[in-house]
Amino acid sequence: MIQGHVRLIDKDQRKAIVRTEYDDLVVLRILDGTRVDVGDIIVGALDCQGENFVLDHSKRIGVQVYIENGHRLFAPAGRGNGSRHANRSNPLLRRAVA
């Protein structure tokens, strides 16, 4: 289980951007019409892309979502070549990201 905080919601309240405890951003498409608010704590398998069920811990309700990009963008800082600093310093990776 991964925990994150809702950072942004689209104007239609159908998508939310969640920043996980690993500092990754995950886009959740809300399927069941449940309202989540900026600052809500979301708990679930936020690293698994596809349809899923997560818990809005702040409101203590379940939310049916589709995780659009449930994957880690970077390894945690300081862990070998996967760190953000290492990615910036590698010219091949810099070109791939740009």
Task: Write down the pLDDT at residue 68.
Answer: 87
Under the banding of pLDDT at 50, 70 and 90, the label for residue 88 is very low
Q: Does this model's pTM top 0.95? A: no
Under the banding of pLDDT at 50, 70 and 90, the label for residue 70 is low
Q: Residue 67, Cα to own-chain centre: how many angstroms?
A: 8
- Find the helix or strand (DSSP H, E) in which 68 lies: none
DSSP for 26-59? EEEEESS-----TT-EEEE-TTS-EEEEEEETTT
Task: Write down the pLDDT at residue 81.
Answer: 45
**Least confident among 2-11, 14-23, 28-37, 72-81:** 72-81
